[in-house]
Structures are given as C-alpha cells and as structure tokens.
Structure 1
C-alpha cells in the first residue's frame, strides 16, 4: 500500500499484541523488527520488554534486555517493574542495584503516576514489615492522599492488630471526605469488636466474592459452618456467583446440598444462583434440573437461554425463548433477545433469526444497542453482510462493538478496502478503540507487512 515502516510503527502494534496477550503475533512482529534492523532502536526495544513482560515470558524479557545495544532509564525501569510484578523480588532488587552501581542511571519517577504512588507503596511495605511508626510517618508526609493511601495505612494497622488505631484512621478517612471502597471494608470489618453473627459473616462473604477473592469466599462459608454458624439464603446468593465465575463445581455442589438440607433451595434467588452456577460450570443438565423443580421468573429463563446459546445445543435457547414469550406475565427483555440471537448465530439459523428480528421490530427493540449489535453478529455469521449493513445504519448511536463487527465482517470477506474505509470512518466518528479494535489494526498491519515483504522479495 506504499506505507513505509518506521520506528514508531512497531511500538504501536506491539502494544496491541501485549494488550491482547497475542504472544505468537508478537513474536512474528519481533522477527520483522530484527529482519528490518529496528532491534537496535531503544524505543522499539523498550516496547518489546513491555510486550514480553505483559505476556509473562520472563526469559524473553531478559534476553531482549541483555541484547539491547543501548538502554535508557525506561529500559531499566521496565525490566525491574516486570520482575517485581511477577514476584521475582530478588531478581528485581539485583537489577535495581546493578542499575544504581553500573549503568550510569539513577532511580527516578519514570513509570510512576506521581509521588503519592511511592508514598503508598512505602506505607504498605513498612506496615507489612512491622514498622508501624514509619508507616504512619510516611502516610502523614503524603501531601495529596488518595483512597489507596488510606487503605494502605488501615490495612497496615489491622495487619499489626492495632485495631483501635485502624478504626480511628477509618473515621478520619470518612471525616476527610474520602469514600471507602470494598478494600477499605475488607480491612476494617475484621477489627470490629463484638461477637460474629450471621450478618457479619454474610458481609465478609459478600465482600470477598465481590472483590474477586472467590476461593476465600468459599473457604469463609466453610469456616462459618465450622464455627457453628448456619448459613442462610443470603449466604448462598453471595457465594454461588463466586463459584460460577471460576467454575468451582464441587464447592458449588456442596453449597447446593447444604441449601437443600436447610430448605433454602426453594428460594427463588437461591435457585437462580444455583442454575447460573451450574450453567457457567458447563453442566446445563444440572442447571435444567434445578430450573425444572424451582420457581421461575425472567431471570431464570434468561440464565438458560444464555447458557444454551454458548453450547452445541443452541436450539434449546430458541425453545426457551418461545416458551417464555407464551407465559402470561413474562416479559422478553434485552438479555432474552441477546441470548436467542446468539444461539441463532451459532446455528446459522437465518430463518429463525429473521423471525426473532421481526419480533424485536414489532416490540420497538431492534435499535436498542445491545440487541442491534447481536443482530450484526448474527447476520455476519450467516454471511449476510448486506442485512448487517441495514441493521448498522439503523443504530442511532453506534459503539465500538458496532463498528468492529462491520469492519471484521468485511475483512473476513476479503473486502479490505471497505474495512479500512470503515475503520477510518470509525475514527472520524470519535469512537474509542478497544482490544478488538487493536486486533483489527494488527490484522491490517500484518497485511501491509506481508505486502511489503513480497515487494522486497520480488
């Protein structure tokens, strides 16, 4: 296409590979970097360090670093940061000392948001090492504290069982107008005085589950039972989504059995949570059994409609969708339509998908963004880019997913010129890129690279 590659091209595309953990693509780009002689550029080298660091291939990080003919402060900061984040603390400290003693560079603030970031880290490290006075001194010296600063000092004090001081800092945080978040609460709750009860247990289970500490939430439910506390429906509705998120089937079954023993399985919220847990663990047969014997609402149906749409038994989504529509009082909502349209897309069931589309039009839901985007995906997978285009032009306010679908649709058909034109129109429309957009850019870049190499070898 006549576009010349330079040292600014590779950092851009390597960042896209890093953001999407596209290791193989990144290695291919690295090969092109080496072939075209850009491996000696420090800017490109730093981007390669970050790419391999993001992908977790530390041997490649060290190899790139060792082979760099020129390094700057960013190079040293990058490799120290990568080893530290990945838990190789001794190596990170060794590299820090080598930088300080032999490289000619001195520690600086490159790569850190601001001075407050360093202060927060010092508060945390002094607290974990037991130096509470030093932790508090650093905290007091931070001129512009943020939520992380307060969480660091509260966590440090709680860790050292300075419960009164931790609660006092929590009070000062509130008085200072800083809003506590889930991390604050998880640090503060354990230091509260008084006997644990079902409310406090449930609060901690919910806090752990909502903060992506799924294993800890499950362990806490076991611990509360070992301590003689009987879980209730609130406990189950808090912990079951945690099991669903990480595919904890066996603990989920244990919780199901416990819910049956105490009679909570008849609760609509618990049965929906159980259905969702089994569906997300890939056990649609067990999810359907819970669904069949339980009370049902729109959520119950939507869980299975979505669940079946992601399996080879997609036709069940369509059956449940139609059944839901026939039941008096049941309302087909956005989730229902998204699930059944996805099922039709996976089945390439053009006729049924068109019928669902027609129903959405009659209900005036066809221009709703999520439904419209699902229709785009459906028509593209069915090979009807013409119908996808009609849906696309009817969307009043398109988002990134809308544009990505059309660009990828034309790209898969080999219509690269139209795809590129759409990409440019997306930029002109002011739509922000996401990871898929970056992959599209990578796809276009790859095509340009291939054409460039072909021209060079011709």
Structure 2
C-alpha cells in the first residue's frame, strides 16, 4: 500500500484493497491506516473517509490521516470538526501527538480560527508537545498568521531545536510586520541557509520598498553557493526594476543569459519587465522578437504590452494586444485588462 501511494498507482492499490477485504484484514488497524494513507496520497478523500467510517478499531494515526487529508484538500472547517470529535467533547477522547497538533494548527491558521488555535496550543502544552520541532513550527505559523508578534517571538526564543523552516518563518514574519531591521540579525544567526531562506529575505526587502539591500544580499547568496531557482531570479529582477537601476539590470541580465536561466517564460517575463522599467525598451524589444524567447506564452506578451504602456507608447501596446488576440496567444487577466482599458481611456 505504501509503495502504491508513492507512485500513485490507484489501479493496483484498489486491487490490494479488494485483497484486504477478501482475506479479512478489515479489523487490522495497521492495514487500514495504510489503506487510508494510500487513498490520501492519491487525492481520493471520499475513499479515505469511507475507509475511516468502516473501521471497527481506530488509533491516533487513523484520525491523523483523515485530519491531514482534509487539510490537504483545503477543507479546514471539516478538519477542525474532525479534530474536535477526535479529542472528544469532554476532552477525554483519543490522545493526540505532534502530527495531530501540527495538522490542526495549519487548519486553524488558514481558517482564521484564532480561539481554536489557542485551545490546540493549550492541549500541546498539556501533552508535553510544545517543544516538538514540527509543533513549534506550526505554532509560529499560526501566531504569525494572527499577527501576534509577542507570541511568535516568545515561542521562537523558547524553542530548543530550530531548523531552516523555523528561521525562514521568522524572516517572513518580521518582513510582513515591517520589522526589516531585525531581519538581517535573525538571518545572520541562522546556522544553515538555503534558497527558500534567501528568497524570503529578498522578497521581504521588495515588499518593504528596501530594494537597495536586495542586490548585495543576492550577491552574498551567490558567494555562499546557494542553488538558485526561478523565484530567486524573478525577485532580484523585480528589485532592479522597482529601483530603476539600469546598470544593475544589465549585470543581472548578463548573469541570467550566461548561466542559461532564461529558459522558461516566467524568467523571460521578469527579464522583459526589468528592462522596460529600467529604460531599456529597445533591449526588451530585441529580446521579444528573438528566437530565444517563448513566443506563444501569454505572460511574455503581457509583459511586453505593459512595458510599452509604462514607456509611453500606447499605440504599440494596443497593436501588440490585438495581435495577440488574433493569434489566440493572449489570456486576458486583470493586469492586461487594466492596462489596455487605461490606454484606451488615454487615447479617448
């Protein structure tokens, strides 16, 4: 069952389910938990619930599987209801573990269930689970979502063991709270940094309008040999564009081309945006018409249309828009629609 779940083999897994019934293993909680885990991996929530309802004996793993599957399917209210049933209305239901707490705290965060989240925190303390790493990370995520600075900092300071997720959550939280000066201090204390950590920092600088700090931090990222992803490049190109730093944009552009990162439409779109924001419209045009760029991508055409618009060339923007429509390339989204309507109003 575990193997089937890992390769998403629903046909073989269903046959094994039949074998389970035929051989009379339906009363074996271990087998039935594996069966629910398999259906959960394959996204078959209805079958997870069906197996759960038919179980004669359940343990904490049985309940955890259903709760986590509900969370995975964004059914946060239902996950909270299931957790309440799990612990019992009188609080003396089946015991909980770190997995239960972590899963239900995610549901509380996404559902905006502040009081329920605090109750789960109290249960975690009661069962001695607060010091567990995954529970601590889930609690920081929950209180971050609530905007509770005091509780987030207190939890972070009390955690005996911290991993890269813990530190990255703190960076994101400080950035979202506008506490930019505290972020680099936390970042420098991290024993290990990865691409996600750096991306959170770079993105936070942009969100807080502190674009000047983004470029040196990107250089530090390269010096430490951290593996980049397309999000890293999109962030730093956005920072250059917002800062309208032509020189830096040329350096970043050269870096992207040199190392072959410009091979997908998101990176190419970010390059076009950066060029048009930094007064390099001719470079953007040259790139747009070249064979090296993805010509049938709506996001690429949208970037070029917006680029013409921001550089005061409404006729080219509208011409490109109508061409994209006639060739069935353009997907009308909020950005391009707002841009085109604004151009039409300007012409009128």
TM, length-normalised to structure 2: 0.69
* 2:223 corresponds to which of 326, 340, 348: 326
Counterpart Cα distance in 1 of 2:188 and 2:236: 20
Residue 408, structure 1, aligned to residue 306, structure 2? yes
Q: Does 1:187 align with 2:81?
A: yes
Matches of 1:194 and 1:218, distance apart in 2 = 19
Number of the residue aligned with 1:62: none
Of 125, 137, 140, the match for 1:237 = 137
1:291 Cα deviation from its structure 2 partner? 0.8
Closer, same or farther in 2 for the Cα pair 1:355/1:242, shift >3 Å?
A: farther
Task: Measure the CA separation in 2 of the matches of 1:203 and 1:443.
Answer: 45
Match of 1:139 in 2: none
Task: Label 1:330 to 1:414 Cα distance change in 2 as closer, same or farther (>3 A).
Answer: closer
1:196 aligns with 2:96: yes
Change (3 A) 1:255 1:233: farther
> Contact 1:214/1:242 (CA < 8 Å) preserved in 2?
no
Distance change in 2, residues 1:207/1:398 (3 Å): farther
Contact 1:236 1:255 (8 Å CA) reproduced = no
Give the counterpart of 1:374 among 249, 254, 270.
Answer: 270
| 1:64-75 mapped onto 2 (5 Å cutoff) | none
Q: C-alpha separation between the residues in 2 aligned to 1:359 and 1:200?
A: 46
Matches within 5 A, 1:2-401: 168=53, 181-183=73-75, 184-192=78-86, 193-209=93-109, 211-213=110-112, 215=114, 218-225=117-124, 227=126, 229-231=128-130, 232-244=132-144, 246=145, 248-249=146-147, 251-264=148-161, 266-295=162-191, 296-327=193-224, 329-393=225-289, 394-401=292-299
1:226 positional shift: 5.9
Is the Cα–Cα contact under 8 Å of residues 357 and 366 in structure 1 kept in the other structure?
no
Partner of 1:92: none
Looking at structure 1, the residues matched to 149 and 296 of structure 2 have their Cα atoms a distance apart, in angstroms, of 39
Residues 338 and 170 of structure 1, relative CA distance in 2, 3 Å threshold: farther
Residue in structure 1 matched with residue 316 of structure 2 by the alignment: 418
Where do 5+ consecutive residues of structure 2 fail to align?
1-42, 57-68, 87-92
**How many residues are aligned here?**
277
Separation in 2, partners of 1:217, 1:335: 34
Runs (5+) with no aligned partner, structure 1: 1-146, 155-164, 172-178, 452-458
Give 1:392 deviation, angstroms: 2.7
2:97/2:129 contact within 8 Å kept: no
Call closer, same or farther: CA 1:310–1:258 in 2, change over 3 Å: closer
Are the structure 2 counterparts of residues 421 and 170 from structure 1 closer, same or farther at C-alpha, using a change threshold of 3 Å? farther
Partner SS for 1:190: helix
Quote the Cα distance in structure 1 between the aligned partners of 2:158 and 2:138: 18
After superposition, the Cα gap between the structure-2 partners of 1:337 and 1:214, relative to the gap in structure 1 and judged at 3 Å, is farther
Change (3 A) 1:401 1:281: farther
**Cα distance in 2 between the residues matched to 1:214 and 1:301:** 30
Q: Describe the superposition over 1:168-226 as per-residue Cα deviations: whole angstroms up to 9, x where unpaired.
A: 4999xxxxxxx9634244433332351233332222112333x3436457534543356
Distance 2:323 2:183 in 1: 44
CA RMSD of aligned residues (A): 3.3
Quickly say closer, same or farther: Cα 1:197–1:311, change in 2 above 3 A. closer
Which region of structure 1 is more displaced relative to structure 2, 254-263 or 351-360?
A: 254-263
Confirm or deny: 8 A CA contact 1:341 1:353 kept in the other structure: yes
CA contact (8 A) 1:375 1:391 kept: no
Q: C-alpha distance in 1, partners of 2:188/2:167? A: 10
Residues 214 and 243 of structure 1 are in contact (CA less than 8 Å); yes or no, is this contact kept in structure 2?
no
Contact 1:298 1:331 in 2 (8 A): yes
Indicate conservation of the 8 Å contact 1:302/1:335, yes or no: yes
Q: Are the structure 2 counterparts of residues 297 and 189 from structure 1 closer, same or farther at C-alpha, using a change threshold of 3 Å?
A: same
Say if 1:243 and 1:277, in contact at 8 Å, map to a contact too: no
Q: 1:391 to 1:367 in 2, by over 3 A?
A: farther
Following superposition, the deviation at residue 272 of structure 1 comes to: 1.4
Instruction: Write out the 4+ residue segments of structure 1 that deviate beyond 6 Å after TM superposition.
Output: none
